[in-house]
Amino acid sequence: MAGGSDAAETLSCARCSNPASLQCPKCVQLKLPREGAAFCTQDCFKASWSSHKSVHLKAKLSSLGTDSAGGQNSDLASEGWLYCLRKGQSRTPKLPPFNWTGSLRPYPISVKRNVPAHIDKPDWANDGVPKVEPNSDWQHRVEIKTPDQIERMRETCRIAREVLDAAARMIRPGVTTDEIDRVVHEATVAAGAYPSPLNYHFFPKSCCTSVNEVICHGIPDARKLEDGDIINVDVTVYYKGVHGDLNETYFVGNVDEASRKLVQCTYECLDKAISIVKPGVRFRDVGEVINRHGSMSGLSVVKSYCGHGIGELFHCAPNIPHYGRNKAVGVMKAGQTFTIEPMINAGVWRDQMWPDGWTAVTADGKRSAQFEHTLLVTETGVEVLTARLPSSPDVLPWLNK
């Protein structure tokens, strides 16, 4: 502990509010405000350390990119915060060179989060390599789920919804996407489930957070959300041997009208696509419905990524393109489960990949939005397995109209 100056004697202890004359040495080093860094005794300082030390990390994160000497980035690197490369298989302490399409940049990511040993894990959890999925017959045929599989998927999808809702409650300016990932990870594990994206083909985090021009697969990192951003949070959980997958796009603070229209139109594209799901409908018709509504609003539909079958496998048949004039084969049948997840861009539909090998961004740097549900085809129509709950946060304003 460093001794304070005469002025510090008028400060209050951060723990007990008694007059304080001692300063946290790390706060002094980081040049943080004296208020909140003063303590009356060594005992108060030690008792507060477990919570107080978070102030230091937040200060380092807030100064990322502004330290010309790279000192703060060096500190973060020493604590395991590094930039992601090669689809999660390597790290670097320096921002990789790239012809960025928009104003967003990647930030360092934290170390991989642990999953307790008692949690049932998919086969990629330890080494990053799916074993069953790539060679499964269900990559070529669409599985009809058994009643037992359907019931397990209902349970899993409800957990996924509750986890996404927990993430949604975190959305506000100043929160890092890494903090959102932490909430997703902890909520998933608390439910006895595994966060499916974690180490899937080496993906380094427990969810995807796609901000502004990011189309999909954004990696949670140290960047703080800013007023006016939009952010998509994509959650998948693995529970009782099956996966449940959904995502939503949220407003951060005060968002411009064009972004509001983009996000609402994307929600409507998914809603209209779900409305046609029933036995006998062609998978290719989903793209026609989405493309029609998006185009009428002057927006474009991403062609590089599609909806997919889901169940005991994370990704399998059918592939469900979201754009018009696609060549998807097959028709819907009762008992099938799959996702529909349109990605709609304010500008061109084309995408580029960041150096991390995961983050897909719009080619022109304009914004993109996405919504996703896991669906079950029933004898008479569709059941939205990841539907919003009465307890879901009120974060989509158009639903109140």
Residue 287 has pLDDT above 90, yes or no: yes
In the prediction, which pLDDT does 12 show? Answer: 79
Give the pairing of strands 360-362 and 214-216.
antiparallel
Residue in the block written with tokens 């879901």: 392
Residue 391 has pLDDT above 90, yes or no: yes
What are the angstrom distances between the C-alpha of 266 and each of 1, 149, 259, 358? 54, 30, 11, 22
Instruction: Judge whether 364 is annotated as a binding position.
Output: no
Q: Give the containing element (helix H, strand E) for 232.
A: strand 230-239
Q: Of 70-74, 123-127, 142-146, where does mean pLDDT reach its minimum?
A: 70-74
* Model pLDDT for residues 7-18, shown as the tens digit of each residue: 334 677 877 778
Instruction: Judge whether 315 is annotated as a binding position.
Output: yes
In a domain, 181, yes or no: yes
Amino acid at 240: K
Q: Domain with 221 in it: what CATH number?
A: 3.90.230.10
* Model pLDDT for residues 71-107, shown as the tens digit of each residue: 445 567 767 899 999 999 999 999 999 999 999 999 9
Residue 358 has pLDDT above 90, yes or no: yes
Distance (Å, whole) CA 396 – CA 357: 31
Give the pairing of strands 337-340 and 316-320.
unpaired
Instruction: Judge whether 372 is annotated as a binding position.
Output: yes
> Which residues, at least 6 apart from 227, have a Cβ–Cβ distance to it below 8 Å?
173, 252, 253, 254
In a domain, 81, yes or no: no
Instruction: Judge whether 243 is annotated as a binding position.
Output: no
Q: Give the containing element (helix H, strand E) for 204.
A: none
In a domain, 390, yes or no: no
Instruction: Judge whether 56 is annotated as a binding position.
Output: no
In a domain, 392, yes or no: no
Q: What is the mean pLDDT of residues 271-275?
A: 98
Domain of 299, in residue numbers? 133-384
In a domain, 301, yes or no: yes
Provide the number of structural domains found in the chain. 1
In a domain, 49, yes or no: no
In a domain, 118, yes or no: no
In a domain, 140, yes or no: yes
